[in-house]
Amino acid sequence: MKKYISFFMMIVLIFTIVFTSTGCRPEDVPPAEDPEPGEPIVEGPQVPWGEVPAIEDMIIDSAAWEEEYPLIYQSFLLTARMGDNTVEDSTLGGLHPTDYLEKYPNIKILYEGFGFAKEYYAARGHYYSMEDVINTARPKPGANCLACKTGDYERLFVEHGEDLFLMDFYKTAQEVDHPISCYNCHRNEPEGEIQVTGPHLAVGLTHLEEEPPAGTLACAQCHVEYYFDTETGAVTLPWHNGTGIDEIESYFDEINFADWTHPRTGTPLIKVQHPEFEMYTGSVHDRLGLSCADCHMPTMTEDGEEYVSHWAKSPLKTAEESCGECHRDSEAIITQTEDIQREIDAMQVEVSDLIVQLIEEFADALERRVIDDDEVIDRVRSLHRASQYRWDFVMVENSTGFHNASKARQALERAKEQAEEALDILAEYQ
């Protein structure tokens, strides 16, 4: 479910490639052609995507649209709601904020030596994006963490260029007045096409064969896997080889990337962020052409007036509007969804038990210095890295497997095999 956690989303975005390769600052980049919907994105850097208004013309405060779009604006404010009594949360979809360290104690060992072992709360609504990133106890590398938290991000990016990424987080956060706002997805034109304001996605899109539908594009600005370029701090989407679980891993392996090293096993590990877009891609619903917004932002009716709900939340709270067009029995489809989540959650816990066992046995063997062959050590580390990466991909994806149950199952099965293979090797050194 919500493994989002405030801040970590940010950790990732990168425009690096573009900027380092061209030496351009955003002001120097000629405005890119806004691609026609459905047209393939042209090769090469796409920063910015669409036309960026002059700083003084940017309408960043959502309240500016309250009068023109009262129903949309009111629904947007509902992202401030926490597990309230009016609308029931689904069992696993969760009350807020859930403390994952308490719920899944294994992650203290899995994420040992990394910020998420200290604090890890479930994601909350968009309204809290700034509050939660500022309050998290986890260290923040720089202002790049703001990329998915605020409607001010594009303004900051235009003002500071690529220097923004490594600017002091807290100082820069003081220049920010708004959490996620209408500007993030619409710039100044709510009636027009969805606009991509996250430069990292503009770059990421150049690696895709097809542009996702508007209601998915908007969310892929933040609900994706990302990492910070180790030199520039640029938020980067690791899609160079594709958006599949194996392709992302192969890219990280090629560039020798690690988010941190496990302090007791020496394994260079990848911390997955919130790969909703990547998990969802290729699912039953994706193949039917449904976008994230179709389920998460259904069309609602109030006093006879229809509007697109902007309360991004669990679609199970609006199962009739979100799913009813195809699944007539709302209760049955909620039960079926929760069955999938229970199954994936149980698998996830089982695999995490195995990886914990692997870490303990490996750390013990290393401490006793009983493995005298470096190749064996490397082999166990690489199995640990691969297994934990797949477990994490499912663990931190916020739908607990629902978005793509078969992909989640496959990843966990592979993770289990990899952990078992490592345990078999270690068994010889008991």
Q: Which of residues 310-349 bind ligand HEC (CB under 6 A)?
A: 310, 312-316, 322-323, 325-327, 333, 336-337, 340
Site for ligand HEC in 169-198 (CB under 6 A): 180, 182, 184-186, 190-191, 194
For ligand HEC, the binding residue among 6, 46, 273, 352 (CB under 6 A) is 6
Residue from the set 32, 101, 166, 214 that interacts with ligand HEC by CB under 6 A: 214
Nearer to ligand HEC, 132 or 361 (CB): 132
Least distance to ligand HEC, CB of residue 48, Å: 15
- Interacting residues with ligand HEC between 233 and 262 (CB under 6 A): none
Cis before 26? omega within 30: no
Pick out residues in 260-289 that bind ligand HEC (CB under 6 A). Answer: 276-277, 280, 284-285, 288
The closest residue (CB) to ligand HEC is 93
If the CB atoms of residues 45 and 97 are measured against ligand HEC, the closer one turns out to be: 97
Residues 7-66 that bind ligand HEC (CB under 6 A): 9, 62, 65
Q: Amino acid identity of 149? A: K
Which range touches ligand HEC (CB under 6 A), out of 3-11, 17-25, 230-238, 380-388? 3-11
Nearer CB in complex with ligand HEC: 66/364: 66
Q: How far is the CB of 276 from ligand HEC (least distance, A)?
A: 4
100: contact with ligand HEC by CB under 6 A: no
Closer by beta carbon to ligand HEC, 189 or else 421: 189
Q: Would you say how long the chain is, in residues? A: 430
Cβ proximity of 273 and 226 under 8 Å:
yes
In our burial notation (b when 16+ CB lie closer than 10 A, e otherwise), range 6-17 reads bbbbbbbbbbbb
Q: Which is nearer to ligand HEC, 127 or 252 (CB)?
A: 127
Residue 219 interacts with ligand HEC (CB under 6 A)? yes
Nearer to ligand HEC, 223 or 385 (CB): 223
- For the bound state, the minimum distance from the C-beta of residue 6 to ligand HEC, rounded and expressed in Å, comes to 4
Q: How far is residue 194's CA from residue 212's CA, in Å, rounded to a whole number?
A: 11
Q: Which of 46, 98, 106, 129 binds ligand HEC (CB under 6 A)?
A: 129
Nearer to ligand HEC, 232 or 404 (CB): 404
Query: Minimum Å distance from CB 15 to ligand HEC?
Result: 15
Site track 368-407 with ligand HEC (rule: CB under 6 A), x = hit: ------------------------------xx--xx-x--
| Contact between 93 and ligand HEC per CB under 6 A | yes
- Residue 204 carries which side chain, given as an amino acid letter? G
C-beta closer to ligand HEC: residue 9 or 347 = 9
Are the C-beta atoms of 281 and 290 separated by less than 8 Å? no
Task: Give me the least distance between CB of 110 and ligand HEC, in Å please.
Answer: 21
CB under 6 A: which stretch of 26-34, 90-98, 100-108, 249-257 binds ligand HEC? 90-98
- Which residues is 99 bridged to in the sheet? 121
Task: Count CA atoms within 13 Å of residue 175 on its CB side.
Answer: 16
Total site size for ligand HEC, rule CB under 6 A: 73
Whole-angstrom Cα distance, residue 13 to residue 7? 12
Closest distance to ligand HEC from the beta carbon of 233 (Å): 18
Q: What is the closest distance, in whole angstroms, from the C-beta atom of residue 266 to ligand HEC in the complex? A: 32
Q: Which stretch binds ligand HEC (CB under 6 A): 44-52, 111-119, 126-134, 166-174?
A: 126-134
Is residue 138 involved in binding ligand HEC (CB under 6 A)?
A: no
Q: Is 223 in the site for ligand HEC (CB under 6 A)?
A: yes
